[in-house]
Amino acid sequence: MMARALSADPPTLDRVSSPAYARPVPPRARRAAARGGSPFDPQETPLARTRRARRMARELALIHPDAHCELDFTNAFELLVATVLSAQTTDKMVNRVTPTLFAKYPDAQALAGADRAELEEILKPTGFFRAKATSVLGLAQALLERFGGEVPGRMADLVTLPGVGRKTANVVLGNAFDVPGLTVDTHFGRLVRRFGWTAEEDPVKVEAEIAELIPKRDWTMFSHRVIFHGRRVCHAKKAACGACGLAQWCPSYGIGPTDPEVATKLVKTPAASDTE
């Protein structure tokens, strides 16, 4: 599966089925979030939470029609390695390094036989390059020894590989094998907690709870949309609440500027946010 090209258009916050600056009535959870508490409302019924989550998911599809995997890759091996390298750095930085990396080591066999010093030099811009060199060397060797140099298409097999957890496995399964998966990275976890869909911090528990809310067929694209929203609108330090099309359903509305003019200035274009 080939990577999709990044859209030249900025996020389209105007493509929503209701006003982007809707002023909702603050629920109990919104008051709790404003006080710094959890926006998760235990009094919200599972059915109500599911309906709200799916309504927000539909809105995300309108807000971010260009959502996609922001790591550049042309096959499952490249995506697997790129995802491992993306730890503690940006996708943008990984995308700068991988053309050189894959030109020199195009498959598991070539990477497994790489000269460590040369590999570390290529990976140096990504940070923690010695540890990452160890990870990808071990990964390539494991692929050769146990899977004939091919990337397996099952979660149970992927998570046995060095440096591969459920998040990385879901990225590979969803984008290289079209197997639905939820990618619980820092953006995803932050947003679904702000949405009041879960109070869990553990990524595995977050994945399990969100899997109950969103239809399985939508998991991969839903993950991309949430991550896009986290990178461009719902920032960790200052969310652009007044420019968010999810405002009327979000219990965390108000944790960032609610004035539309102020908030709009916080929204990042793909070029500006570029996969932070």
Domain count, the chain: 2
In Å, what is the CA distance from 148 to each residue of 32, 108, 151, 192?
Answer: 53, 9, 9, 38
CATH of the domain at 87: 1.10.340.30
Do both 82 and 171 map to the same domain? yes
User: Model confidence at 31, in pLDDT bands (50, 70, 90)?
Assistant: low
Structural domain including 60 reads 28-68+183-273
Do both 157 and 102 map to the same domain? yes
Is residue 234 marked as binding? yes
Domain membership flag for residue 8? no
The mean of the pLDDT values for the chain is: 89
DSSP character at residue 197: S
In the block, residue with structure tokens 């811009």: 125
Do both 47 and 101 map to the same domain? no
Do both 82 and 163 map to the same domain? yes
Do both 84 and 172 map to the same domain? yes
Is residue 244 marked as binding? yes
Do both 192 and 129 map to the same domain? no
Give the per-residue pLDDT at 38.
Answer: 87
Domain membership flag for residue 4? no
Query: Mind listing the pLDDT tens digit for each residue in 250-263?
Result: 999 999 999 999 99
With 90 as the cut, is the pLDDT of residue 10 above it?
no
Tell me if residue 150 falls in helix, strand or coil: coil
Domain membership flag for residue 50? yes
User: What is the greatest pairwise CA distance in the chain?
Assistant: 61
pLDDT > 90: percent of the chain: 83
- Catalogue the active-site residues: 167, 185
- Please identify, among 138, 161, 176, the residue that sits at the C-terminal boundary of a domain: 176
Whether 147 and 172 have beta carbons less than 8 Å apart is answered as no
Do both 85 and 57 map to the same domain? no
With 70 as the cut, is the pLDDT of residue 12 above it?
no
With 80 as the cut, is the pLDDT of residue 192 above it?
yes
Do both 64 and 80 map to the same domain? no
Domain membership flag for residue 10? no
**Residue 86 token pair:** 């993306």
Give the per-residue pLDDT at 21.
Answer: 35
- Please identify, among 133, 150, 176, the residue that sits at the C-terminal boundary of a domain: 176
Do both 144 and 200 map to the same domain? no
- Please identify, among 144, 176, 208, the residue that sits at the C-terminal boundary of a domain: 176
Domain membership flag for residue 200? yes
Give the per-residue pLDDT at 4.
Answer: 45
Lowest mean pLDDT among 31-35, 119-123, 183-187: 31-35
Report the alpha-carbon distance of residue 187 to residue 174 in Å, rounded.
17
Lowest mean pLDDT among 18-27, 183-192, 209-218: 18-27
Domain membership flag for residue 260? yes
State the pTM of this model. Answer: 0.86
Domain membership flag for residue 229? yes
Domain membership flag for residue 95? yes
- 153-162: average pLDDT: 97
Query: Mind listing the pLDDT tens digit for each residue in 37-61?
Result: 789 999 999 999 999 999 999 999 9
CATH of the domain at 244: 1.10.1670.10
Do both 199 and 255 map to the same domain? yes
Do both 151 and 170 map to the same domain? yes
Q: Which of 31, 30, 20 is nearest to 242 (CA)?
A: 20
Do both 222 and 145 map to the same domain? no
Give the per-residue pLDDT at 28.
Answer: 56
- 60-65: average pLDDT: 96
